[in-house]
Structure 1
Amino acid sequence: MSKYYFSSESVTSGHPDKICDLIADSILDAALAQDPKAHMAVEATIKDDTIFIYGEAGTTAVIDYAAIAKKVLKDIGYPEEYNVILKVNKQSAEINSAVGHQEYSAGDQGI
């Protein structure tokens, strides 16, 4: 019998993980509003006064990542005085061709 460990984490509203998820979701929403066939694999992380946005985007949409992130923070009651470090590359052709193209496919996980 093999031994393994299982762990999980649950966070509540206002936790940095939830805020980062909201930023990433808002970026996806902005992409899909302009390009319904967008494939996005974009994540966000916050540390102190800096937001890191990174990943891959396969879309024709023009996205102002920093403005979206700052708007999310403002909407939930945080100041807009954040630095944004952006590292979003064009999605590779290999991933884009492998990602499902069904009606509800929006990212690298087919969500």
Structure 2
Amino acid sequence: MGERIYYVYILASKIGGTLYIGVTNDLIRRIAEHKSKLIESFTEKYDVARLVYFEQFDDPENAIKREKRLKKWNRAWKVRLIEQQNPNWDDLYHEIAGPP
């Protein structure tokens, strides 16, 4: 079996909107879950489903450490991180999942 990949991701409700940071080993499935609003959660309550940033990791420990670190960052740092790679806050989900 191949190496597993783990992801830390940031979702936004809109450009400059509410942010959510999570970690998963299946980014496409997890973002689809957020978008479908099947699970009652923070993201469902605040309509946070735009994938604006993600990072890949080879092991779960480093991914979880990074998620916890990002959650402690102030908002300006999080916005700067997003805008360095995604200045228009585009939804990256379709880039990773392919056409609908």
Q: TM-score, normalised by structure 2?
A: 0.28
Q: Which has the higher helix share?
A: 2
> RCO higher in 1 or 2 (8 Å CA, sep ≥ 6)?
2
